[in-house]
Amino acid sequence: MSEGHDRVPSVLAAWVLGVCEPAEDARVRAHLRGCADCRSEAERLRAGVPGRALNGGRPVPPPGLRARTLLAASAARTSRVPVGDYAACFANAVAMLDALLNEVMPDRDPATHRAIGDAGAVGERWDLPGVLAHLIATDGVLCAALGVPEAVPSAIAAGAGPGDPDGRRTAEVLARLREHTLAQARAIWNEQAVGLLRAARPAPAASEAARLADAYADRAFETWIHTGDLARLFGLRAVRPTRLDQLIAYGLRALGPMVADAPVSLVLTGSGGGRWVLPDAGHAPLATVTADAVEFCLLFGGRRTLASVRADIAGNAPAARAALAAAASLARL
Amino acid sequence: MPRPEEHLHDRLVQGDESALAEVYDCFVGLVHSVAMRVSGNRTAAEDIVQEVFVHLWERPYAFRPERGSLRGWLCLLAHRRAVDWVRAEQSRERRVEHACRTGDGAWVASAEDSVLAADEADRVRSALARLPAVQREAIELAYYAEITYREVALRLGVPEGTVKSRMRVGLRQLATLMEDPAARGAGGGTSGEGR
CA B9 to chain centre: 23
For residue B109, the model assigns a pLDDT of 31
* Distance separating alpha carbons of residues A142 and A212, to the nearest angstrom: 10
CA distance A230 to chain B (A): 12
Phi, psi of A289 (to 5 degrees): -110, 125
For residue A158, the model assigns a pLDDT of 60
The pLDDT tens digits for B63-121 are 999 888 999 999 999 999 999 999 998 887 777 666 655 544 333 332 333 333 345 66
Range with lowest mean pLDDT among A67-81, B148-162, B167-181: B167-181
Q: For the full predicted model, state whether its pTM sits above 0.80.
A: no
3-class SS of residue A269: strand
**Cα–Cα distances in angstroms (integers) from residue B26 to residues A60, A204, B15, B38, B57, in the given order:** 14, 39, 18, 21, 15
Find residues 98-127 of chain B whose CB sits inside 8 Å of chain A: 115-116, 118, 120-121, 123-124
The residue of chain A with its CA nearest to that of B148 is: A19
Find residues 245-304 of chain A whose CB sits inside 8 Å of chain B: 271
Among A96, A79, A83, A81, residue whose Cα is nearest residue A215: A83
E-only strand ranges, chain A: 264-269, 274-278, 287-292, 311-315
CA dihedral (A19, A21, A22, A27) in degrees, to 10, reads: -100
Give start and end residues of each alpha helix (H) in A105-205.
128-146, 165-176, 182-198
Instruction: Walk across the sheet containing A264-269 and list its strands.
Output: A274-278, A264-269, A287-292, A311-315
Where chain A has pLDDT below 50, the residues are 1-3, 52-57
C-beta of residue B72 within 8 angstroms of C-beta of residue B151: yes
Residues of B in contact with A292 (CB under 8 A): none
For residue B101, the model assigns a pLDDT of 58
* Distance separating alpha carbons of residues A240 and B194, to the nearest angstrom: 41
Question: Between chains, do A12 and B20 touch, taking CB under 8 Å as contact?
Answer: no
Phi, psi of A42 (to 5 degrees): -60, -40
β-bridge partners, A290: A267, A312
* Distance separating alpha carbons of residues A218 and A241, to the nearest angstrom: 14
Phi, psi of A274 (to 5 degrees): 165, -170
pLDDT band at B142 (very low <50, low <70, confident <90, very high): confident
Question: Between chains, do B15 and A92 touch, taking CB under 8 Å as contact?
Answer: yes
The residue of chain B with its CA nearest to that of A103 is: B59
Helix pair angle (B70-102, B3-13), 10° resolution: 60
Residues of A in contact with B57 (CB under 8 A): 73-74, 76-77
Name which of B11, B13, B77, B195 to mutate to probe chain A: the one with the most chain A Cβ atoms within 10 A of its Cβ. B13
Please work out, in degrees rounded to the nearest 5, the angle formed at the alpha carbon of residue B80 by the alpha carbons of B74 and B82: 100
CA distance B97 to chain A (A): 29
